Structure 1
Amino acid sequence: MPRLRRIITRFAEKIAERKLQKRCALSIGAGTKISYRNLGQRPPAALTVGEGSIFQATIISDRENSIISVGNNTFVGNSRLVCAEEISIGNNVLISWGCTIVDHNSHSTDWTKRETDVREWHFNRKDWSHVKIGKVRISDNAWIGFNSIILKGVTIGEGAIVGAGSVVTKNVEPFTIVAGNPARVLQGVS
């Protein structure tokens, strides 16, 4: 029975991969493992994953021209990447399970601009002109602990560590450890 399950799983992955290749510019490096079925119904315009990586995240692409890039030897666990513009993840990065990385506010902070959102969604439309968007960058050798949230416009510096359950609203300096809600510097990385 386990052998049959593996065969069915591989077949489903191949179908999901082919569907994704038709809908976005896909570049996958040698030796990389991707869970294609997790990539969602709204893939980005471009998805690049480097060599030797493991990518298990769900992608929610909120705009047509969004770009997600992942470096070499990087692990992205069962997490969510919510992208309207660009999310960039470097080499040798570890992103644990349950994390959310989002490059936008999703809605305007002005209620008068939000009041038409639901009506527009019925027609698969969204007015992005009042939504704040900022590229998210996770630099090489960073480690994001489980259930952390990385918000728009944040850069996680090289070698930085984000403690489990943190909410990161500001840039994290290279080789520092941050944790909490909002994330605060605890110490440097030795």
Structure 2
Amino acid sequence: MSLKDKIKQSPRLKELTLWMLMPKGQARPRTWVKWFVNPFFHKIGKGSLIRRRTRMDVLPFNPFEIGEYSTIEDFATVNNGVGAVRIGHHTRIGIGNVLIGPVQVGNHVIFAQNIVLSGLNHGYENPDVPISLQDCTTKEIIVEDDCWIGANAVVTAGVRIGKHAVIAGGSVVTKDVPPYCIVAGNPARIIKRFNSQTGAWEKA
């Protein structure tokens, strides 16, 4: 049995390990974890840049990866506490974005400002238990290559956004988006599709 499995199976060991990695009730890792542990577990590609004012709530027990020549802008938040966060090559994560894993973002993707992608949902079903104490569920969000997501959009858990799709600003995406489509609204709906035969974007 691996050390990781032993920690998972022992409530006391798990609690001690989490306390060592981050202050109780907080998502942000302790400074020593950020400086001396994470660099050995996480992958940052050549030429990539994570701005100084980015909040990196990333811990060593889940993957965090960013490919080559990608950028995470100031005031963004990245959290891999409940699932991996993987970002591809030549991708820009804009100012004020929030990425809560599990999230996978492809290559040549553009995120504008104040976008939220959360693969996490809080349980609420039991009205006798505070929501903060109920179990969470996770479903991976996947953003395929060459997508553009407009400012203030929200993408909910489990959604897959197909290649070269465009999400209009302010949209709330609750269902999968096919490749080569433009969606808008709350909930987001397809408003245009690319017609490969005519070479034009046509209204849906």
Deviation at 1:104, TM superposition (A): 1.9
Residue of structure 2 equivalent to 1:184? 189
Residue of structure 2 equivalent to 1:147? 152
For 2:68, the aligned partner's letter is: E
The 1:134/1:20 distance shift into structure 2, 3 A limit, reads same
Contact 1:77/1:97 (CA < 8 Å) preserved in 2?
A: yes
Q: Provide the rounded CA distance (Å) in 2 between the counterparts of 1:18 and 1:26.
A: 15
Contact 2:85/2:100 (CA < 8 Å) preserved in 1?
A: no
The 1:20/1:49 distance shift into structure 2, 3 A limit, reads same
- Which one is further off, 25-34 or 154-163? 25-34
Q: Structure 1: which 5+ runs fail to align?
A: 1-15, 121-126
Contact 2:124/2:131 (CA < 8 Å) preserved in 1?
A: no
Residue of structure 2 equivalent to 1:99? 115
- Structure with greater Cα Rg: 2
Identity %: 28
The 1:162/1:17 distance shift into structure 2, 3 A limit, reads farther
Q: Structure 2: which 5+ runs fail to align?
A: 1-29, 195-200
Task: Please give the secondary structure, in 2, of the residue aligned with 1:111.
Answer: coil
- RMSD, aligned α-carbons: 2.2
- With the length of structure 1 as denominator, give the TM-score of the two structures: 0.75
Contact 1:160/1:173 (CA < 8 Å) preserved in 2?
A: yes
Residue of structure 2 equivalent to 1:110? 125
Task: Please give the secondary structure, in 1, of the residue aligned with 2:127.
Answer: helix
After the TM superposition, which residues 1-190 of structure 1 pair with which residues of structure 2 at under 5 Å, given as runs?
A: 20-24=34-38, 25-40=41-56, 42-44=57-59, 45-56=62-73, 57-63=76-82, 66-78=83-95, 79-83=97-101, 86-105=102-121, 107-112=122-127, 115-118=129-132, 120=133, 127-128=134-135, 131-189=136-194, 190=201
- With the length of structure 2 as denominator, give the TM-score of the two structures: 0.70
Aligned length: 159
Q: Provide the rounded CA distance (Å) in 2 between the counterparts of 1:108 and 1:72.
A: 34
For 1:150, the aligned partner's letter is: V
